[in-house]
Structure 1
Amino acid sequence: MSFGLQFINNSDSVVLDSEFARMCVIAAASLNNNGSSDRNSTNMFGRTITTQEPPLIFVKPSNPNNGWAVSLSTFMPVGSPGAWTGFQIVSTYVQSAIFAPGEWFACQFGSVPAAQYGLRMWDGGSNLLFDSASPAANFTRSAQNWAFVKIESTETTALRRYYSTPFNFSSGEFQMVNQFGMTLVSNDNIGRSISCWWDWPTNTLWAVTMGFSNPVDFQIPALFAKRTVN
């Protein structure tokens, strides 16, 4: 950079820069249980987020301690471009209809006014890049070395394919769920759905796709992040 402000840590990594935004936590709370039969979890931000793209949502379900896995699927942002107010997911036990509690946080690249006292930094276009009361979030790893495990047919003749990868859930990481609102490409014009399972008993992360024409190829990574403490 030719001018501005830049902070570099002891490992020579740039942690703050007046030209580039870092990923900041703009809202966080416990997962809400709507109490509905389809186990919807609707969560509101507490403020309107004005980005054009939906904020990145990271979720960490609680370990049910009963030998069951928890499924994350059907992510849907609430609001519209420039006016996002929350998000909805479906989070269920695979073998049960009981909702799995947990935590979530929402991120954007750039900050929001939060500190009453402290430091704020803008870029040349007057976009707020940093607020000392907004914690940062850092991507920690991705899981995409999926191994195809099995295929099964549902009662509607749709095909369900299972993929797995070893994973240690004790690290306190949160999983990004935005990509689970996508309809994946299939061999027809309908597409295929995707969900992800946290399987604590076997330390396994599962991806499950379903569609009437469901190809074997699957390349979607599962992305994980942690919040920093200011």
Structure 2
Amino acid sequence: MQIDSDNPRLCALYSGNYSATSSSTVVVSFPAPIRTTEPPCIFIRNSPSQPDILYREMTITGSPGNWTGFRLESGNVTWRPTGKWFAAVFASRSAASWGLRMWDEAGVIIYDSGSTPIIFTKATNSWSYQGMVQLALGNAYYYLCAAVGALASDEYFMINPFSRGLMAPNQALTNWCGARFNYSINRLQIYSVGTTGWSDLGQPGAVFARLPGT
């Protein structure tokens, strides 16, 4: 594998646990701003003890070159989501006192052997429509990810592709999207909550990765 400024490695810069206490929204602040122009990829592992909580929104806070954290919102005001997370970018940071370090022509670190690389485990953009179901939140159109398999103890899914609403027919607005990993069936689920929905969700990417040691 070649690593250089044109072929960077996706590294986890920060990781941790999240837990809401008095709100259905979790606010996570990075230990230090992430300086990349593009926003970080946020991976989460929703807690197996909360199999029913749907994550309806994720917003990255800050601005290009100064990403400061992210906000996770669940779909019901009574829910208090908990789980684990990590933020990854195609860049690196000074993390080791010895090893190998590389810079690009502008002096930006592109590789540090002390930065934790993530390990992609599976990815797909294939979804199957399961029909309409009734949730406490309202009508929902339910889809299953084609990737099947139990999550390893250090495995997460990327929440970015599901952080905004989903298109709905004959509506000026979008339906909100609820996502979660269902541990009982070992599948990623998506719910399009609204009055109408499509049988064909499209092809949002489901990406899974391990972060060793977490």
> If the TM-score is normalised by the length of the shorter chain, which range does it land in?
0.7 to 0.9
The correspondence of residues 84-99 of structure 1 with structure 2, limited to 5 A, is 84-91=67-74, 97-99=78-80
Equivalent position of 1:220 in the other structure: 204
**1:62 has 2:47 as partner:** yes
The correspondence of residues 1-230 of structure 1 with structure 2, limited to 5 A, is 14=1, 16-17=3-4, 19-33=6-20, 35-37=21-23, 39-64=24-49, 68-91=51-74, 97-152=78-133, 159-165=139-145, 167-172=148-153, 173-187=155-169, 188-218=171-201, 219-228=203-212
Q: Give the number of equivalent residue pairs.
A: 209
Distance 1:159 1:97, change over 3 A: closer
1:130, distance to aligned residue in structure 2 (A): 0.5
Tell whether the 8 Å contact from 2:123 to 2:205 is kept in structure 1 after alignment. Answer: yes
Unmatched runs of 5 consecutive residues or more in structure 2: none
Distance 1:76 1:16, change over 3 A: same
AA at the equivalent of 2:26: S
After TM superposition, the score normalised by the length of structure 2 is 0.83
- Tell me, in whole angstroms, the C-alpha distance in 1 between the residues paired with 2:136 and 2:158: 30
Tell me the percent identity.
Answer: 28
Q: Quote the RMSD (CA, aligned, Å).
A: 2.7
Secondary structure at the counterpart of residue 116 of structure 2: coil
Q: Which stretches of structure 1, 4 residues or more, deviate above 3 A after TM superposition?
A: 15-19, 152-156
Q: Which has the larger radius of gyration?
A: 1
